[in-house]
């Protein structure tokens, strides 16, 4: 059984390291722009916490009946760092051993974590944007305040944006590279 090419093993090593580095940066950001906030408001979502202008955002959300955004409402923060660390360890193991079957596990694990992460984030946004307090000060029939999963969306007088941040781009970039390495090793490398 052939092993992964040495150059690609170095690339996979860097992908594994990128997973560890991603923990030092926010993974995602939600931006809110409105005339009364020309500097904008920003929520940073890390693998284990929330940062940014949370108090201001919670103050505004109160008027439309959204629940408070609090870290303790997200059990994901307790497991997400470990999932990312496991990705990093897998990357280091694949790079060290050069075994193709481990590359399949690494890529599969990244895809599973990615699918779960996107669904979980969408579900979180859906719950916060749709399950509103019926006694809120501002009620607009049929209006939901779910931010976009990715991109921009108008929510009343706020333009809401949702995008990967530095940590998210590191994870996404490394994952895409791992899948490209797998495709090369499986389908394009001469047997």
Supply 139's token pair: 């009620």
Under the banding of pLDDT at 50, 70 and 90, the label for residue 190 is low
The pLDDT score that the predictor gives to residue 1 is 62
Supply 6's token pair: 């040495």
pLDDT tens for residues 34-75? 999 989 999 999 999 999 999 999 998 888 889 999 999 999
Supply 59's token pair: 């103050």
Mean pLDDT of 94-104: 96
Instruction: Map out the domains of the chain with their CATH numbers.
Output: 6-188 (1.20.140)
pLDDT tens for residues 109-134? 999 999 999 999 999 999 998 988 88
Instruction: Name, in order, each residue with C-beta under 8 angstroms of 82's C-beta and a sequence gap of 6 or more.
Output: none
Q: Which residue has the higher pLDDT, 92 or 132?
A: 92
Q: Report the percentage of the chain scoring pLDDT > 90.
A: 77
Average pLDDT value over all residues in the chain: 93
Inter-axis angle of helices 6-22 and 76-97, nearest 10? 160
Residue 188 has pLDDT above 70, yes or no: yes
Instruction: Name, in order, each residue with C-beta under 8 angstroms of 2's C-beta and a sequence gap of 6 or more.
Output: 100, 189, 191
pTM: 0.91
* β-strand partners of 41: 32
């Amino acid at each position: 059984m052939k092993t992964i090419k040495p150059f690609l093993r170095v690339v996979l090593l860097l992908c594994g390291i990128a997973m560890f580095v991603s923990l030092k940066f926010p993974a995602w950001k939600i931006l809110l722009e409105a005339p009364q906030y020309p500097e904008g408001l920003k929520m940073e979502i890390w693998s284990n916490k929330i940062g940014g202008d949370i108090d201001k955002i919670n103050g505004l959300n109160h008027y439309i009946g959204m629940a408070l955004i609090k870290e303790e409402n997200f059990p994901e923060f307790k497991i997400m760092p470990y999932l990312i660390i496991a990705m990093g360890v897998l990357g280091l193991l694949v790079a060290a051993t050069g075994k193709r079957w481990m590359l399949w596990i690494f890529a599969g694990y990244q895809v599973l974590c990615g699918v779960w992460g996107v669904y979980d984030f969408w579900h979180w946004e859906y719950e916060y944007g749709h399950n509103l307090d019926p006694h809120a000060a501002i009620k607009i029939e049929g209006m939901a305040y779910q931010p976009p999963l990715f991109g921009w969306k108008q929510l009343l007088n706020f333009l809401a944006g949702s995008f990967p941040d530095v940590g998210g781009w590191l994870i996404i970039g490394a994952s895409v590279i791992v899948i490209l390495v797998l495709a090369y090793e499986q389908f394009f490398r001469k047997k």
